[in-house]
């Protein structure tokens, strides 16, 4: 069954009329939601540490950054855009004590609600609007008169108006133009984690590293290896984004397309798919969420170790040198 998709014509901003929306956090998603909603005519306040870089940015954008507890006291609708690992502590300390019946608690990702690290009381609405793009894109597309597609979910409808509020939020950030797909917290959370871990981040990062290692260990120059397994990804990804796998294959050479069919299934095969299923199960049963929370509560020792380890990988070292030769990429030195 096709997923329900809603547009501007299917709702309005009325769900937020007369309400104060507090955006908690002014990072990638926070700045976009706050500005887009304000430009849509919604009353918006922002919670962020005033002395931080994001707090100073909020001030530059015309907001007065408030402490979280003060913002919650002033608001009717909350939008949490803080990092997943930080949200439970902030919720318990500054949000939960200041919630009143009839308020709305909004999320841009279902992680904490789905895995039970945040459990809002029964007398508040719990909703989600998750743009399928980074915050800067959400802002840019809105400024151009368009919008990034969003996912929308109603987890708890205490007032009977949760859907109206969620739809107003989605329309206010541009999702009514890009298309707002109706889902639930479970599906959004689990598919998002799976995509990140198995394909978009984890899978892709490991493919790049293993491809680089295979070529360099076979005696090929690391510079050539970097170009072939990393640099040219942008071309392929952009073609796929525009027209799917079919358009990508149409646009590349016959040699490349033949090799796609001939060798691809030998690398990513049914055994890989079986391991993907195991990874999905680990997400579904809460195993990944527990591992993430446990490492965070210890100060992220394993996480930080992996960060430093991969910074020393050959593909990162040679890539840094080669990107410096291409100023048109606007290279970033981490």
φ and ψ of 21, to 5 deg: -105, 125
Query: DSSP labels for 222-279?
Result: HHHHHIIIIITHHHHHHHHHHHHHHHHHHHS-HHHHHHHHHHHHHHS-HHHHHHHHHH
Instruction: In whole angstroms, give the CA distance from residue 191 to residue 207.
Output: 20
Instruction: In whole angstroms, give the CA distance from residue 159 to residue 20.
Output: 16
Question: 231, exposed or middle or buried, with CB in 10 Å at 0-12, 13-18, 19+?
Answer: middle
Question: Interhelix angle for 28-39 vs 135-143, to 10°?
Answer: 20
Show the tokens assigned to 132.
């399928």
In sign, the C-alpha dihedral spanning 84, 88, 90, 91 is positive
The answer to whether 82 touches 70, Cβ cutoff 8 Å, is no
Strand partners, 154: 127
Of 13, 46, 38, nearest in space to 170 by CA? 13
Instruction: Find the DSSP H helices in 99-201.
Output: 111-114, 135-143, 162-173, 175-178, 185-194
- The 3-state secondary structure of 274-315, one letter per residue: HHHHHHHHHHHCCHHHHHHHHHHHCCCHHHHHHHHHHHCCHH
> Which position among 109, 155, 231, 282 bears the catalytic label?
109
Reply yes or no on whether 136 is catalytic: no
**Residue that has been written with the tokens 């069919």 in this structure:** 261
Cite the active site residues: 109
């Amino acid at each position: 069954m096709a997923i329900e998709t809603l547009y501007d014509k299917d709702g309005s901003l009325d769900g937020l009329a007369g309400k104060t929306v507090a955006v908690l956090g002014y990072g990638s998603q926070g700045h976009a939601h706050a500005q887009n909603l304000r430009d849509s005519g919604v009353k918006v306040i922002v919670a962020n540490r005033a002395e931080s870089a994001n707090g100073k940015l909020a001030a530059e954008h015309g907001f007065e950054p408030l402490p979280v507890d003060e913002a919650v006291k002033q608001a009717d609708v909350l939008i949490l855009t803080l990092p997943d690992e930080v949200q439970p502590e902030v919720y318990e300390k500054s949000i939960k004590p200041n919630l009143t019946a009839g308020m709305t608690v909004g999320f841009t990702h279902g992680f904490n609600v789905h895995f039970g690290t945040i459990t809002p009381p029964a007398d508040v609405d719990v909703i989600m609007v998750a743009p399928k793009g980074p915050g800067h894109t959400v802002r840019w597309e809105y400024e151009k008169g368009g919008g990034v597609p969003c996912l929308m979910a109603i987890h708890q409808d205490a007032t009977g108006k949760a859907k109206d509020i969620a739809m107003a939020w989605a329309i206010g950030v541009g999702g009514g133009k890009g298309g707002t797909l109706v889902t639930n917290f479970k599906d959004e959370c689990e598919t998002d984690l799976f995509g990140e871990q198995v394909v978009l981040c984890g899978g892709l990062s490991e493919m790049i590293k293993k491809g680089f290692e295979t070529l360099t260990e076979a005696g090929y120059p690391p510079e050539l290896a970097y170009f072939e397994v990393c640099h040219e990804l942008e071309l392929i990804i952009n073609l796929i984004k525009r027209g799917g796998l079919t358009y990508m294959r149409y646009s590349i050479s016959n040699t490349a397309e033949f090799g796609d069919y001939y060798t691809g299934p030998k690398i990513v095969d049914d055994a890989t798919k079986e391991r993907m299923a195991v990874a999905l199960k680990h997400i579904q049963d809460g195993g990944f969420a527990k591992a993430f929370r446990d490492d965070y509560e210890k100060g992220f020792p394993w996480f930080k170790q992996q960060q430093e380890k991969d910074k020393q990988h050959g593909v990162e070292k040679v890539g840094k040198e080669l990107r410096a030769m291409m100023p048109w990429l606007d290279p970033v030195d981490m």
